[in-house]
Amino acid sequence: MHKTVAQAVTPLIRATGLGKTFSRRGRRVEALAGVSLAVAPGEFVTVLGPSGCGKSTLLRLLGGLHEVTTGDVTVGGRPPAVARAAKQFGFVPQAPALVPWKTLGDNVRFLSRLHRGGGDHPPMGDEAIDGLLATVGLDSFAGSYPHELSGGMQQRAALVRAFALGAPILLMDEPFAALDEITRADMRYLLLDIWSQRRQTVVFVTHSITEAVTLSDRVLMMAAHPGRIVAEHRIELARPRRPDVEDCEAFHRHVRELRAELRAVRLPAVEAS
């Protein structure tokens, strides 16, 4: 386990001394304090930690959706808000957030069509999107509406929509949390298949240890009160990764180490309760 975050190449995302304080019912709540990290181009980094440790808040700060209270964030050398205006980000939230009155095909094309002609990275054309729908097994459902689709199908559509934007950075906030375990496992490898073809930079938030090990190049462990990064874990597993990777000893070793680390950061909260 390594206690510092370092990259051998120039980071695409860099945060230094990052802090965020909210005002709630007249009280100031320190959600994050002293968070520093660096994410290289094309890297898949997962933020892991207990509920309430500020993982989602960190993601929103990196994406320019919240203002920073203290510290500094840059994306390609620019402030996150500037990078967001330049269409640098694709967001994948917990809920698919499909527009109910649009078909699946229209849902996955809506944002990419809206963003054509703007930003540094042009979105995919319709033909490429059709190919991506075929890759995730949704090509025959392009004319269906969200209520006609299962939760897993809706989340696959949300993935296609994010990749279709052509943004070089994907910020994913527990996108598979609402799925059953079998569907969730399938979605991990589907995401890896798509990502391996395009190699966008991904920052992925989860509280699932198995998910973190399956997907990541590195895992950043967070603790709470206030939210902060306490450790870095590099995942030494070859790519591409297939489901049988979960049978190997190296996979189980990473899971054991992260489980011990997660237990260590949760114990203070347990003892205080």
Considering the domain architecture, whether residues 110 and 1 belong to the same structural domain is answered as no
Domain that holds residue 151: 99-167
Residues 6 or more apart whose Cβ sits within 8 Å of residue 56: 173, 174, 205
Quickly tell me which residue has 């990290």 as its tokens.
37
pLDDT at 115: 63
User: Do 188 and 176 form a contact (C-beta atoms < 8 A)?
Assistant: yes
Considering the domain architecture, whether residues 185 and 264 belong to the same structural domain is answered as yes
Partnered with residue 218 across adjacent β-strands are 45, 234
Considering the domain architecture, whether residues 151 and 178 belong to the same structural domain is answered as no
For residue 185 the two structure tokens come to 């496992």
Considering the domain architecture, whether residues 45 and 107 belong to the same structural domain is answered as no
Residues 6 or more apart whose Cβ sits within 8 Å of residue 243: 185, 189
Quickly tell me which residue has 């051998």 as its tokens.
8
Structural domain count of the chain: 2
Long-range contacts: 248-252, Cβ < 8 Å, 24+?
251/213
Which residue positions in the chain have pLDDT lower than 70?
1-8, 114-122, 267-273
Considering the domain architecture, whether residues 22 and 120 belong to the same structural domain is answered as no
> Taking Cα atoms as reference points, which of 71, 81, 76, 64 lies closest to residue 35?
71
Q: How far apart are CA 175 and CA 96, in angstroms?
A: 8
Q: How far apart are CA 93 and CA 97, in angstroms?
A: 8
Q: How far apart are CA 176 and CA 191, in angstroms?
A: 11
pLDDT at 166: 86
Instruction: Tell me the CA distances in angstroms from 188 to 4, 161, 273, one per residue in order.
Output: 27, 16, 34
User: Do 210 and 182 form a contact (C-beta atoms < 8 A)?
Assistant: no
Order of all β-strands in the sheet with 228-234: 89-92, 169-173, 201-206, 44-48, 218-223, 228-234
pLDDT at 99: 92
Considering the domain architecture, whether residues 142 and 211 belong to the same structural domain is answered as no
Considering the domain architecture, whether residues 47 and 163 belong to the same structural domain is answered as no
Considering the domain architecture, whether residues 241 and 223 belong to the same structural domain is answered as yes
Query: pTM for the complete prediction?
Result: 0.90
Considering the domain architecture, whether residues 73 and 173 belong to the same structural domain is answered as yes
pLDDT at 110: 81
Residues 6 or more apart whose Cβ sits within 8 Å of residue 129: 108, 109, 112, 160, 164
Q: How far apart are CA 38 and CA 19, in angstroms?
A: 15
Q: What are phi and psi of 11, to 5 degrees?
A: -65, 145
Residue pLDDT, tens place only, 84-110: 888 899 999 888 889 999 999 999 888
* Helix or strand run (H / E) with residue 197: helix 181-198
pLDDT at 197: 87
Considering the domain architecture, whether residues 133 and 263 belong to the same structural domain is answered as no
pLDDT at 120: 59
pLDDT at 128: 86
pLDDT at 86: 85
Considering the domain architecture, whether residues 74 and 118 belong to the same structural domain is answered as no
